[in-house]
Amino acid sequence: MPSCAAARPGVCPCCGAAARPLSGPLVVVGHGLVERQVRGPSGPHEPPVQVQVQLRRYRCRACRAVLVVGPQGLLRGRWYGGGAIGLALALYAQGAPSTHVRACTCPSRVVGGSARERWVTLTRWVESARRGELFGGRPYTAGLPRRAVAEQLMLLLAARAGHRLGAALSESAFAGALIAA
């Protein structure tokens, strides 16, 4: 894990104040560590896991904002890593049944009765994407089928990763989701 000084942002993203002015005291100061869970595979061909990651917290003395700095690819308010969600949407967009998507994404092997037929987490991601609340996408029309929404977002994410013809869209979507998260 990078040191407090190494991970300190250069400027406060909330008010734009320089974190470490040339003269005077620090403006963005260390404010402890927070731990969070991240679920999902670490790469497009890796098995899904659940890991604990530590995030550095900073406090801006200019605007009092609390900033959290962590590894690339984490989404606020979601248990799963960005790459995992991008991969899941890509697999679903390409026709995989939701049980297969779950097996590739979810570290828990315990499946409840209803989850054998469909995976509600995947549905939630697609519906967030439809509202334009995932990876900074734009909203899609209410009538667009779920797989079509997933396909639109997959193409958007793959493009972010510089997808080239012939490459696997699921791999590009995973990489693009890390950038977009």
Binding site for Zn ion (CB under 5 A): 12, 14-15, 17, 60, 62-63, 65
Burial label for 142, CB within 10 Å (0-12, 13-18, 19+), is exposed
Q: Which is nearer to Zn ion, 12 or 156 (CB)?
A: 12
One-letter amino acid of 87 = L
Q: How far is the CB of 81 from Zn ion (least distance, A)?
A: 27
Q: How far is the CB of 14 from Zn ion (least distance, A)?
A: 4
Q: How far is the CB of 6 from Zn ion (least distance, A)?
A: 20
Q: Which is nearer to Zn ion, 60 or 173 (CB)?
A: 60
Q: Which is nearer to Zn ion, 12 or 173 (CB)?
A: 12
Q: Which is nearer to Zn ion, 12 or 91 (CB)?
A: 12
Q: How far is the CB of 37 from Zn ion (least distance, A)?
A: 28
Instruction: Look at residue 105 and give its three-state secondary structure.
Output: helix
Q: Cα dist. 167→53, 76, 162, 172 in Å?
A: 30, 29, 10, 7
Q: Which is nearer to Zn ion, 12 or 149 (CB)?
A: 12
Handedness of CA 94, 96, 98, 104 (dihedral sign): negative
Q: How far is the CB of 12 from Zn ion (least distance, A)?
A: 3
Cα separation of 137 and 153, whole Å? 7
Backbone phi and psi for residue 115, each to the nearest 5 degrees, phi listed first = -70, -15
Q: How far is the CB of 57 from Zn ion (least distance, A)?
A: 14
Q: Which is nearer to Zn ion, 14 or 33 (CB)?
A: 14
**In terms of Cα–Cα distance, which of 95, 121, 90, 97 is closest to 108?**
121
Cα separation of 18 and 92, whole Å? 43
